[in-house]
């Protein structure tokens, strides 16, 4: 993973971080296994999305999620055609970029509020969506699953009764 002596993740290329993480083949944590086509598209991505409109890596977001006053990097990576998205969060620890969250979802939305990442997904039950909340766990030094709840679908949005089947 890239080194960032300043500790400021904004000084590292977000795209190089994603490419480095996918090149390692994992770091001992569970995580999404991208299909060869997705890996090929990630390798072809450029920071200028106009040059590679098929790039599966979504635009990065930055937010202080661990309360240390420094931003973390949040990226989403679309996987193939089944609406799966990997949500990764990275921080700088001792001058090195480290992944502190690895989640996969079929999100209706991804929200960052305060120090939480909230994923909303179809629940499989008509009229309800699943809300999964990740928050900073000081002991684990990672973003950990804090709550999984089923909420009525918010007005103005219709959630599919069942997620699409994986192909």
List, for residues 114-140, the tens digit of each pLDDT value: 899 999 999 888 889 999 999 999 999
Residue 128 lies in a domain: yes
Is 2 domain-assigned? no
Domains of the chain: total: 1
Q: What is the pLDDT of residues 75-97, one digit of tens each?
A: 999 987 678 999 999 999 999 99
Q: For the residues 60-67, what does the mean pLDDT come to?
A: 96
Residues with Cβ within 8 Å of residue 19, at least 6 apart in sequence = 42, 43, 45
Q: According to the model, what pLDDT value does residue 157 have?
A: 54
Residue 18 counted as domain residue: yes
Enclosing domain of residue 25: 9-152
The answer to which of 3-17, 30-44, 53-67, 103-117 has the lowest mean pLDDT is: 30-44
Residue 165 counted as domain residue: no
Angle at which helices 14-24 and 36-44 pack, to 10 degrees? 150
């Amino acid at each position: 993973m890239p080194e960032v002596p300043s500790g400021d993740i904004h000084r590292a290329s977000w795209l190089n971080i994603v490419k480095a993480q996918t090149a390692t083949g994992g770091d001992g944590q569970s995580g999404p296994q991208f299909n060869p086509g997705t890996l090929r598209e990630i390798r072809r991505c450029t920071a200028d999305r106009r040059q590679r409109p098929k790039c599966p890596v979504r635009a990065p977001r930055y937010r202080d999620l661990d309360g240390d006053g420094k931003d973390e990097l949040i990226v989403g990576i679309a996987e193939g055609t089944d609406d799966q998205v990997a949500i990764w969060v990275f921080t700088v620890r001792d001058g090195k970029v480290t992944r502190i969250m690895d989640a996969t979802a079929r999100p209706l939305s991804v929200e960052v509020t305060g120090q939480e990442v909230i994923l909303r997904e179809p629940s499989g039950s008509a009229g309800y969506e699943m809300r999964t909340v990740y928050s900073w766990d000081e002991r684990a030094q990672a973003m950990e699953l804090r709550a999984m709840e089923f909420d009525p679908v918010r007005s103005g949005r219709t959630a599919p009764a069942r997620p699409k089947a994986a192909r």
